[in-house]
Amino acid sequence: MIHMDGEGGLCAGYDEVKFLVAVYGGDFIEATGEIVEIGHRSRRMSFEARKLISAVSDTTFQLLNEPILVCTASGTSVRHKDGDGEARTR
């Protein structure tokens, strides 16, 4: 979004948030997002979060053989406008 819209946009909200697996303090999570639809002033996005490292204790961690999908979501962001009402692109 920063490449397309300059400073980015404002998150208007998330929907369809699905928590699939428990996540605990000390777990290492990687989150990714993808733009799936481009509107005139909005962007639809999909998100995934995967657990890569699991906390076994306060001082012991386990690198997982395969990342575990822990959450999916979708959301919408809206583009900023300049003072003249035109959408800002850079």
Instruction: Please give the pLDDT value at position 1.
Output: 66
C-alpha distance across the termini of the chain, in Å: 11
pTM for the structure as a whole: 0.76
Specify the pLDDT at position 11.
Answer: 83
Task: Share the mean pLDDT of the chain.
Answer: 86
Q: Could you report the per-residue pLDDT of 14-26, keeping only the tens digit for each?
A: 989 999 999 999 9
Number of domains in the chain: 1
Which of the four pLDDT bands, split at 50, 70 and 90, describes residue 7? Answer: low
Confidence of residue 50 (pLDDT cuts 50, 70, 90): very high
Contact 14, 73 (CB under 8 A): yes
Which residue range is the domain that position 50 belongs to? 2-79
Q: Torsion over CA of 45, 50, 55 and 59, rounded to 10 degrees?
A: -70
Asked, for residue 65, whether it belongs to a domain, the answer is yes
| CATH code for the domain of 46 | 3.10.129.10
Report the alpha-carbon distance of residue 1 to residue 9 in Å, rounded. Answer: 8
